[in-house]
Amino acid sequence: MKWLVLLGLVALSECIVKIPLTKMKTMQEAIREKQLLEDFLDEQPHSLSQHSDPDKKFSSHQLKNFQNAVYFGTITIGTPPQEFQVNFDTGSSDLWVPSVDCQSPSCSKHKRFDPQKSTTFQPLNQKIELVYGSGSMKGVLGSDTIQIGNLVIVNQIFGLSQNQSSGVLEQVPYDGILGLAYPSLAIQGTTPVFDNLKNREVISEPVFAFYLSSRPENISTVMFGGVDHTYHKGKLQWIPVTQARFWQVAMSSMTMNGNVVGCSQGCQAVVDTGTSLLVGPTHLVTDILKLINPNPILNDEQMLSCDAINSLPTLLLTINGIIYPVPPDYYIQRFSERICFISFQGGTEILKNLGTSETWILGDVFLRLYFSVYDRGNNRIGLAPAA
**175 is annotated as an active-site residue:** no
Of 89, 175, 364, 375, the active-site residue reads 89
The full 3-state SS of the chain, as one line of letters, equals CCECCCCCCCCCHHHCEEEEEEEECCHHHHHHCHHHHHHHHHHCCCCCCEEEECCCCEEEECCCCCCCCEEEEEEEECCCCEEEEEEEECCCCCEEEEECCCCCHHHHCCCCECHHHCCCCEEEEEEEEEEECCEEEEEEEEEEEEEECCEEEEEEEEEEEEEECCCHHHHCCCCEEEECCCHHHCCCCCCCHHHHHHHCCCCCCCEEEEECCCCCCCCEEEEECCCCHHHECCCCEEEECCEECCEEEEECEEEECCEEEECCCCEEEEECCCECCEEECHHHHHHHHHHHCCCCECCECCEEEHHHHHHCCCEEEEECCEEEEECHHHHEEECCCCEEEECEEECHHHCCCCCCCCEEEECHHHHCCEEEEEECCCCEEEEEEEC
**272 is annotated as an active-site residue:** yes
Of 94, 175, 272, 364, the active-site residue reads 272
Residues marked as catalytic: 89, 272
